[in-house]
Every structure is written in structure tokens, then in C-alpha cells.
């Protein structure tokens, strides 16, 4: 199996082993903070503090995209900003504004589902990154070391990068295949093992879901009998 195809499969199949695919909640929580003009201004400027604003209005105990993904990587890119070339800086600035503009829709809502926020914003993050230049091979080559310093070189990073590149189009995807093969060469054995054991992982997920549903059924039975 080629590394490009393997990478694409990681992007599609990795979430299936992480639990949320099997059971998700439709619960929506009420906003705990007011809408603030200065927070909206921060989003329009692409300021990292907007993610803190979002968390103050919509604090998510689980699936907290604002802090665990948005704020975390936004501030990391700030810390390393001077190391990027001009093309990468334009990508960073454009992606931030695009992501935060998309997140404003959730910020302005009176009720949100935290899982929806996390999933939709990660997809928006990938789309915004692609629209603002991450699909550029020169950008990837010239800024490889700082990107890997920020993201690390591991399976999670492979998945995060897949969020970007699935929006780049087929031709671009194959054009950057060599970059991925070289950048992630140290973890390909782990990825190969992931797919060799994928059937078992999927089976384990279904078994866990079945047990959970059984427990729920017994609980309801006790309540109504």
C-alpha cells in the first residue's frame, strides 16, 4: 500500500477507533457568558485570545476545541512565528481569521453541542488552512522543521495534517506524497500496525458500545419495573 493512500486512510478511519463515532450525544448546553464586542473584534483580527473568550461563554468539559486545539496551537504558532517564512506567515494569518470567523457562528449561539463544535471546527480548520496556502509544496519544504517542532512527529500529527490535506485536491495530495513519506518516516511502522489491527479495534469498539447499551437497558428496566 503506498504511503499516500495509507495517509488518506488514516484521515478517514482513525476517528472510528476513538469512541465518538459509536455513541454521541445530542445534548446542547446553555451559554454561561455574555456576547462581548471585544471578543468579536479579537476573532475578526485573528487574535488567539478569542479562544479564551469562546471558552468563557461556552465552557465545554469534554470535546473542548477552543482550549485543547484552538488556543493550544494558536499560541504555539505565535511563539514560533519569527521562524516562518513570508508565505507561511500569510498562511497562518489567513487561517486564523478564517477559523475564528467560522467559530463566531457558534460563539453567537445561546445553546451549543460541544461535540458538534469540536468536529465542525476541526473540519473548518482544515478547510481554512487549505484555502490559505498549506497545500503549497514550497511552504511545506521551507517550514518543515518549525511545523514538526509545533505539531510533533506522531500519529496524532499525521491525523491533524490530514485535516488540511483532504481539502487540497487529488493532484496536490499526490504531489506532496514524498514530503509526507520523508517527514513521517519514523512512524510508518506504527501506522502499518494500526491498519493490521484495525479490524480488532473496530470489533472492540462495537463490543464496548454493546456493553454500554446493555447497561443502559438494565438501568431503565430497574427504573420502570
Q: What is the pLDDT along the chain (225 residues), one digit of tens a residue?
A: 454 555 555 554 454 444 444 455 668 899 999 999 999 999 999 999 999 999 999 999 888 999 999 999 999 999 999 999 999 999 999 999 999 999 999 999 999 999 999 999 989 999 999 999 998 989 999 999 999 899 887 777 777 777 777 888 777 777 776 776 777 665 545 555 544 554 554 455 445 544 544 554 454 444 444
What pLDDT sits at residue 221?
Answer: 45
Q: Please name the helix (run of DSSP H) or strand (run of DSSP E) that holds residue 125, with its range, or none.
A: helix 114-131
What pLDDT sits at residue 151?
Answer: 87
**Beta strands 111-112 and 29-30, pairing class:** antiparallel
What pLDDT sits at residue 186?
Answer: 59
What pLDDT sits at residue 153?
Answer: 75
What pLDDT sits at residue 190?
Answer: 52
DSSP 3-state percent helix, strand, coil across the chain (nearest 5) = 75, 0, 25
The neighbour count for residue 99, using CB atoms within 10 Å, is 26
Distance CA 160, CA 95 (A): 15
Amino acid at each position: 500500500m503506498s504511503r499516500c493512500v495509507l495517509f488518506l486512510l488514516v484521515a478517514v478511519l482513525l476517528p472510528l477507533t476513538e469512541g465518538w463515532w459509536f455513541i454521541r450525544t445530542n445534548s446542547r448546553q446553555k451559554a454561561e457568558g455574555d456576547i462581548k464586542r471585544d471578543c468579536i473584534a479579537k476573532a475578526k483580527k485573528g487574535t488567539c485570545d478569542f479562544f479564551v473568550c469562546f471558552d468563557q461563554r461556552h465552557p465545554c468539559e469534554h470535546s473542548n476545541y477552543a482550549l485543547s486545539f484552538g488556543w493550544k496551537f494558536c499560541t504555539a504558532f505565535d511563539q514560533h512565528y519569527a521562524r516562518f517564512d513570508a508565505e507561511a506567515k500569510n498562511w497562518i494569518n489567513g487561517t486564523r481569521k478564517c477559523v475564528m470567523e467560522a467559530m463566531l457562528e457558534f460563539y453567537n449561539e445561546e445553546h451549543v453541542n460541544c461535540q458538534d463544535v469540536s468536529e465542525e471546527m476541526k473540519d473548518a480548520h482544515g478547510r481554512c488552512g487549505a484555502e490559505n496556502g498549506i497545500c503549497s509544496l514550497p511552504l511545506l519544504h521551507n517550514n518543515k522543521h518549525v511545523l514538526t517542532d509545533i505539531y510533533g512527529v506522531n500519529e496524532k500529527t499525521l491525523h491533524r495534517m490530514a485535516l488540511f490535506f483532504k481539502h487540497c485536491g487529488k493532484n496536490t495530495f499526490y504531489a506532496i506524497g514524498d514530503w509526507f513519506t520523508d517527514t513521517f518516516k519514523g512512524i510508518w511502522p506504527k501506522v502499518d500496525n494500526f491498519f493490521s489491527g484495525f479490524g480488532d479495534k473496530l470489533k472492540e469498539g462495537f463490543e464496548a458500545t454493546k456493553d454500554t447499551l446493555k447497561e443502559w437497558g438494565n438501568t431503565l428496566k430497574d427504573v420502570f419495573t
